[in-house]
Structure 1
Amino acid sequence: MCEKIKKVNNWLASVFGDQPVPQFEVNSRVMDILYQLTETSEARCSDTALLIEDLKQKTSEYQTEAIYLQDVLLEGVGLSPTSLSKPAADYVSALVDSAMVLGVRDTSLGSFMPAINSLTNELLEAEKSNIRLERELGALRKTLGSTLVLRADLQEDIDSTAKSQAVEGSKAEERLLTMDFVAAKTAELTIKLKRSEAELTSRNMDKSITHQAIVQLAEEVGTLNTEIIPLRKKLESYLDLSPSPSLAQVKIEEAKRELAAIDSQLEENLNFS
């Protein structure tokens, strides 16, 4: 643990330099995390140092090779960078820049042609990909247009539904208020009815004079009146006969007795009420 703390402190000191290291809580979890960061940072720094050394070595090699080539040009054909004309120097500079852009090792035709062919193939592939993407973009635009139209229709339906729901909600609320009022009124009338029935019961009221009994009696009277009508018509048919036949007189007497019995029953019912 002490070795970890020492290594972490050294790493933090190297990271922050002259600035003070911020205060932090020292516990096993924090130290594990900082130690892992220390190991990762040191590994990256080591890789970076190796890469720098490799680049320095390649730079030295390139410089040595450049000096050698300059000596070859100067001794073989008597050319030097200062002896070239401005157009020739521009051509050489453009050739060097092209080699650097193409990423070739030298400026020979054997290096340039494969690099140019590779770039040409990449350009063709990019153009094909661009055409395919344009087609897909066109299809997406059509789909987007249809989707926007559908969205507008759906939004209109949603707005219409929301308005309908608002109206129905108001109606439902009004119905609920009406139901509450009716329920309260029904409860109130039920209580009053029970009180009235209790009061009538305490006064020993005859049930025959209640509204229900009177309604029932009226229905019975109506039924009897309905039954009387055909008997009266039958009696009238007998009254139209000549008084001479004795049988007609007997029928008349029977009809009168039936009528008298019905009238008597009706009168009893009325007196009973």
Structure 2
Amino acid sequence: MCEKMKKVQTWLSTVLGEQPVPQFEVNTRTVDLLYQLAEASEVRCKDTSLLIDDFKQKASEYQADSIHLQDVLLQGVGLSCACLSRPAADYVSALVDNAMVLGVRDTSLGSFIPAVNNLTNYVLEAEKSDRRLDQELKALRKKLGATLVLRKNLQEDINKTVKDQEVRCAQAEERLLNMDFVKTKSRELINRRKIAEDQISSRNMNKRFSHQALMEIFEEVNTLRQEIIPLTKKLEPYLDLSPSPYLAQVKVEEAKRELAAIDAKLEVNMDFMQK
């Protein structure tokens, strides 16, 4: 704890400089946190110091290379920066700017060619990527068009479905109303039928005068009428025979009796229907 506290105080004094160290609550947690910050700060400061030393070394190397190149130009070619013309100075400045843009160590041809090749490859890759993105964009536009058409068709189908649903709802409501009307009318008819049956029961109406009984009698009358037709045809041959008083009288009397019986039965049924 004492070693950590000493290191923390030393670190705070170094960081704050002439400013006084602010008061803080001294406990195990705060001391541990400040100790961790102090160690991290020392590591970061060491890394920064190493980086600064590296930059200084590179700067000294660049400075030595510059002096060497100036000596080569001055002693070997007889050129100096002061004796260069304006265009030559501009060319040298452009060459330096290009070297800085390309990130090469020097302005030699062996440094420029790989840098230009790398830049050319980067441009080709960028153009390739641009073409690929353009194709993807066209495909997306095509898909977007198809999606918009599908969305329009779906919206039309939805609108049509909504309208059909409204019509069906109206029809269903109308059917419900008709059903209620039919149920009401059915209950009314049932009540009326019950009242009529009660009235018929109270009047002691004979079941022979019911509609079903009358229909049965009407069917019997039609049946008897159909039975009369063959009997009438059966009498027709006897009408053309030569007169034989006895036989003719017997046949005629038999036919008359049979016909009278049928007529009587028919009249009874007709009188019953008229009543």
1:65 is aligned to 2:64: no
Q: Which has the larger radius of gyration?
A: 2
Q: Distance in 1 between matches of 2:168 and 2:221?
A: 50
CA offset digits 1:16-64 (Å, max 9, x no partner): xxxxxxxxxxxxxxxxxxxxxxxxx999989976775554344323332
CA offset digits 1:82-112 (Å, max 9, x no partner): 7765544544443344334334344333232
1:259, distance to aligned residue in structure 2 (A)? 3.7
After superposition, the Cα gap between the structure-2 partners of 1:240 and 1:133, relative to the gap in structure 1 and judged at 3 Å, is farther
Check the 8 A contact 2:221/2:266 in 1, yes or no. Answer: yes
After superposition, the Cα gap between the structure-2 partners of 1:200 and 1:80, relative to the gap in structure 1 and judged at 3 Å, is farther
Q: Distance in 1 between matches of 2:87 and 2:117?
A: 27
Aligned to 1:231: 230
1:209 is aligned to 2:209: yes
Q: Distance in 1 between matches of 2:254 and 2:145?
A: 98
Normalising by structure 1, what TM-score?
0.61
Q: Extract unaligned runs of 5+ from structure 1.
A: 1-40
Normalising by structure 2, what TM-score?
0.61
Letter aligned with residue 197 of structure 1: E
After superposition, the Cα gap between the structure-2 partners of 1:116 and 1:71, relative to the gap in structure 1 and judged at 3 Å, is closer
| Partner SS for 2:186 | helix
1:81, distance to aligned residue in structure 2 (A)? 6.7
Q: How does 1:62-101 map to 2 (within 5 A)?
A: 62-78=58-74, 86-101=86-101
Aligned to 1:196: 196
Name which of structure 1's ranges 252-261 and 103-112 shifts more when overlaid on structure 2.
252-261
Q: Distance in 1 between matches of 2:201 and 2:40?
A: 106
Check the 8 A contact 1:235/1:252 in 2, yes or no. Answer: no
After superposition, the Cα gap between the structure-2 partners of 1:251 and 1:48, relative to the gap in structure 1 and judged at 3 Å, is farther
Q: Extract unaligned runs of 5+ from structure 2.
A: 1-36
Aligned to 2:13: none
1:186, distance to aligned residue in structure 2 (A)? 0.7
Letter aligned with residue 62 of structure 1: K
After superposition, the Cα gap between the structure-2 partners of 1:199 and 1:219, relative to the gap in structure 1 and judged at 3 Å, is same
Name which of structure 1's ranges 118-127 and 256-265 shifts more when overlaid on structure 2.
256-265
Q: Distance in 1 between matches of 2:173 and 2:134?
A: 56
Percent identical across equivalent pairs? Answer: 51
CA offset digits 1:98-145 (Å, max 9, x no partner): 334334344333232223222222322333343444445445545554
After superposition, the Cα gap between the structure-2 partners of 1:72 and 1:103, relative to the gap in structure 1 and judged at 3 Å, is closer
1:202, distance to aligned residue in structure 2 (A)? 4.2
Q: Distance in 2 between matches of 1:269 and 1:44?
A: 131
Letter aligned with residue 244 of structure 1: P
1:150, distance to aligned residue in structure 2 (A)? 5.0
